[in-house]
Amino acid sequence: MSQTPLPPTLHDALVQILGPSGVLTNPADTEAFCVDWRALYHGHCAAVLRPANTEDCAKAVALCHAHNVPMVPQGGNTSMVGGATPDSSGHAVVISTTRMNQIHNIDHADLTMTVDAGVTLKAAQDAASAQGLLLPLSISSEGSADIGGILATNAGGNNTVRYGNARELALGLEAVLPDGNVLNLMRKLRKDNTGYALRQLLVGSEGTLGIITQAVIQLQPAPRSRETALCAVESPQGALNLFAAFRKQDPSAIHAFEFMSGTSMALVNSLIEGASLPLEAPAPAYVLVELASPRADDSLRSLMEDVLGSALEDELVTDAVLAESESQRQSLWMIREEHAEAQKRAGASVKNDVSVPLAAIPEFIADATKACEALIPGIRVAPFGHIGDGNIHFNLVQPEGADPTAFLAQDHAMMDTVAEIVRKLGGSFSAEHGVGQLKTYMMPSWRGGAELQTMRRIKAALDPQDLMNPGKVLPPA
Ligand code: FAD
398 with 455, same domain: the answer is: no
What residue numbers bound the domain in which 15 lies?
A: 8-96
In a domain, 127, yes or no: yes
Q: Report the sign of the C-alpha dihedral through residues 353, 355, 359, 363, in that order.
A: negative
Q: Report the sign of the C-alpha dihedral through residues 352, 169, 205, 214, in that order.
A: negative
Exposure string of 102-140, with b = 16+ CB inside 10 Å and e = fewer, is ebeebeeebbbbbbbbbbbbbbbbebbeeeebbbbbbbb
Q: What separation in Å is there between the alpha carbon of 249 and the centre of ligand 1?
A: 34
In one-letter notation, the amino acid at residue 298 is D
Ligand 1 pocket, CB under 6 A: 37, 72-80, 83-84, 97, 117, 139-141, 144-146, 148-150, 152-153, 155-157, 206-207, 211-212, 340, 432-433, 436, 469, 472
Q: What separation in Å is there between the alpha carbon of 76 and the centre of ligand 1?
A: 7
Q: Give the pLDDT confidence score for residue 297 in this predicted structure.
A: 85
Contact between 4 and 91 under an 8 Å Cβ cutoff? The reply is: yes
* Ligand 1: nearest atom to the Cα of 72: 11
Cα 445 from Cα 435, distance rounded (Å): 13
Cα 70 from Cα 28, distance rounded (Å): 21
Which residue is closest in CA terms to ligand 1's atom 38?
A: 141
* Ligand 1: nearest atom to the Cα of 120: 51
Q: What separation in Å is there between the alpha carbon of 166 and the centre of ligand 1?
A: 11
Which residue is closest in CA terms to ligand 1's atom 21?
A: 207
In one-letter notation, the amino acid at residue 395 is N
In a domain, 201, yes or no: yes
271 with 364, same domain: the answer is: no
Q: Which of 417, 300, 308 is nearest to 369 (CA)?
A: 417
128 with 232, same domain: the answer is: no
> In which element (H, E) is residue 265 found?
helix 262-271
How do strand 170-176 and strand 254-261 relate by DSSP bridges?
unpaired
Q: How many CB atoms lie within 10 A of CB 427?
A: 21
Q: Give the pLDDT confidence score for residue 1 in this predicted structure.
A: 55
Q: How many domains does the chain have?
A: 5
First-to-final CA distance of the chain: 24
DSSP 167: H
Cα 245 from Cα 241, distance rounded (Å): 6
In one-letter notation, the amino acid at residue 113 is M
CATH of the domain at 38: 3.30.43.10
Q: Which of 325, 340, 355 is the last residue of a domain?
A: 340
Q: Give the DSSP letter string of 271-329.
A: HSTT----SSS--SEEEEEEEEESS-SSHHHHHHHHHHHHHHHTTSEEEEEE--SHHHH
Tell me which residues of the chain have a pLDDT lower than 70.
1
Contact between 441 and 182 under an 8 Å Cβ cutoff? The reply is: no
Q: What separation in Å is there between the alpha carbon of 433 and the centre of ligand 1?
A: 7
Cα 34 from Cα 37, distance rounded (Å): 10
49 with 75, same domain: the answer is: yes
* Ligand 1: nearest atom to the Cα of 157: 28
357 with 336, same domain: the answer is: no
Q: What separation in Å is there between the alpha carbon of 381 and the centre of ligand 1?
A: 24
Q: Give the pLDDT confidence score for residue 276 in this predicted structure.
A: 95
Q: Give the pLDDT confidence score for residue 4 in this predicted structure.
A: 81
DSSP 120: B
3, 41, 463, 474 from 44: Cα distances, Å = 6, 10, 22, 21
* Ligand 1: nearest atom to the Cα of 341: 34
Q: Which of 165, 195, 221 is the last residue of a domain?
A: 221
276-279 contacts at long range (C-beta below 8 A, 24 or more positions apart): 277/335, 278/230, 278/321, 278/331, 278/332, 278/335, 279/230, 279/232, 279/319, 279/320, 279/321
Which residue is closest in CA terms to ligand 1's atom 27?
A: 157
Q: What separation in Å is there between the alpha carbon of 94 and the centre of ligand 1?
A: 15
239 with 273, same domain: the answer is: yes
* Ligand 1: nearest atom to the Cα of 165: 25
Q: What separation in Å is there between the alpha carbon of 51 and the centre of ligand 1?
A: 19
ipTM score assigned to the predicted complex = 0.99
- 3-class secondary structure, 404: helix
Q: What separation in Å is there between the alpha carbon of 309 and the centre of ligand 1?
A: 38
31 with 19, same domain: the answer is: yes
Question: What number of H helices and E strands is found in the chain?
Answer: 18, 21
In a domain, 332, yes or no: yes
In a domain, 1, yes or no: no
In a domain, 3, yes or no: no
In one-letter notation, the amino acid at residue 207 is G
| Ligand 1 binding pocket mutation candidate from 153, 257, 264, 392 (most atoms within 8 A of CB) | 153
* Ligand 1: nearest atom to the Cα of 73: 11
Q: What separation in Å is there between the alpha carbon of 118 and the centre of ligand 1?
A: 12
* Ligand 1: nearest atom to the Cα of 118: 18
Q: What separation in Å is there between the alpha carbon of 435 and the centre of ligand 1?
A: 11
- Measured at the CA of 360, the angle between CA 356 and CA 366, to 5 degrees, comes to 105
Q: What separation in Å is there between the alpha carbon of 143 and the centre of ligand 1?
A: 11
How do strand 349-350 and strand 285-293 relate by DSSP bridges?
unpaired
pTM: 0.95
